[in-house]
Chain A
Amino acid sequence: MATSFRTPLARARGLGSAKEGVHHWKLQRVTSISELLLEIWFVTQLIRMAGSGYSEWVAWFSSPINASLMSAWMISIFYHTKLGVQVVIEDYVDSRPYKIAALLALNLVAVALAVAAIFSIVTISLRG
């Protein structure tokens, strides 16, 4: 049997070949907290803006604070959603080729929609 001279702590810090064992777990929590705050803000704004039409919403987005917070919310929510759906795929898609294809599709769709959302926010904001 091979003797290891590494301490258990050093081995734990190495985290194996992945090097980021709790990264997914941690970011799922961090994004949940930022979403909690941003959604309380957004729902309040939705209530305040109730009954508004196109021009009122364009004016709302022209505020740099609103546009920035919306963008931050989109980054947070798409990251959180990507991580959540990823775990569902990993749990339920048994076949390895399908799993890899589904995870790849998830990443592409999540990034594409996040870019579409943020590009839209910037476009609306600059119109106002």
Chain B
Amino acid sequence: MALRTPEDAIVQAKRPISPHLQIYRWYASMMMSILHRATGIALSVALLLLVWWLVALASGPDAFDRVHSLAGSWFGLLVMFGITVVWAYHLLNGIRHLAWDAGYGFHPSEFRRTGVIVAVGTGILTIVVWIAFLIAR
């Protein structure tokens, strides 16, 4: 809409807009919903590392050893641990999303309970995967 007078500009500036994130009090369910998207973005970056690993393996032993020694460094292990956490969260919360899509788990009590299961499950799944990996090594 074109502005006609300076008064119009003031009215337009004061017009209420739809409340966004900074208006609401933060609570766990909201945080978990946003984390699903955030972990999805993080995993798309992690996917680049997976492609890097595949391309290195296809390129030959030298390229592969360089990637492996980098992955085995403290920084590489830290990144892979982070990817495991993010992956576990997105996987478990993704199952929660599939249940919602099928029409289950909408009651507030179920909503909270499955949220806690996902949060605790993320920790358990991450630790189980790493303990298994370290024992196998």
**A residues near B, CB below 8 A?**
29, 32-33, 36, 39, 43, 46-48, 50-51, 53-55, 57-58, 61, 77-78, 81, 84-85, 88, 113, 116-117, 119-121, 123-124
Contact = CB atoms under 8 A, between A and B. Distances in A.
A120 B136 contact: no
Interface size class, chain B: 20 to 34
Interface of A is mostly: helix
B51 A85 contact: no
A58 B45 CA distance: 25
A107 B82 CA distance: 27
Interface of B: 37, 40-41, 43-44, 47-48, 50-51, 54-55, 57-58, 61, 64-65, 68, 87, 91, 94-95, 97-98, 101, 129, 132-134, 136-137
Contact of A32 (B55, B65, B98, B134): B98
B54 A50 contact: no
B95 A36 contact: yes
